[in-house]
Amino acid sequence: MIADDLEYVGFWPRVGASIIDTIIVMIITAPPLIWLYGWEYYTDIDRPLVDGPGDFLISWLLPAVGIVWFWLRKEATPGKMAIGARVVDAVTGRAISARQGIVRYLGYFVSTLPLCLGLLWVAFDPRKQGWHDKLAGTVVVRSRNQGPQPVKFGNG
């Protein structure tokens, strides 16, 4: 697919994709977490950030590995697939590397911590990159269907 056939994916479609992905992660992780920790896991506001090794594996490691795996194998999570989006290298337009996937995932924490400013950045950036995209050297694109702005790979 040539760059003229692509558009950057903006803020609201990416929010929708994130909601889909969050629901899928919750469907996968909630049953084992409830089995291990009971309903209190979701209702106890005083519980620690990590409730133990099972919580770490299920709530933190499993989603990270799954999401990065989808980016590397499918170029998209299920939510991004639903909106026809792909995560690609910002310079070449090709599939991202494992390093880029890991940096992009960890970049979500950087993007989220200061009042989600790094996520909101997508709405204002010309290439629709969040801070996590900038850190990893990625862009989110899809087949052009309504946006006026063509994709430019490289340093432009």
- The predicted pLDDT at position 59 comes to 95
- The predicted pLDDT at position 150 comes to 66
In a domain, 115, yes or no: yes
In a domain, 69, yes or no: yes
Mean pLDDT along residues 133-155 = 81
In total, how many domains does the chain have?
A: 1
Place of tokens 């989110």: 140
In a domain, 150, yes or no: no
Mean pLDDT along residues 82-110 = 97
In a domain, 136, yes or no: yes
Q: Model's pTM, two decimal places?
A: 0.87
Regarding beta strands 85-89 and 138-143, do their DSSP bridges make them parallel or antiparallel, or are they unpaired?
A: antiparallel
Look at residue 27 and tell me whether its pLDDT is greater than 70.
yes
In a domain, 41, yes or no: yes
Of 28, 95, 40, 34, nearest to 64 by C-alpha is 28
- The predicted pLDDT at position 17 comes to 98
Range of the domain at 21: 3-143
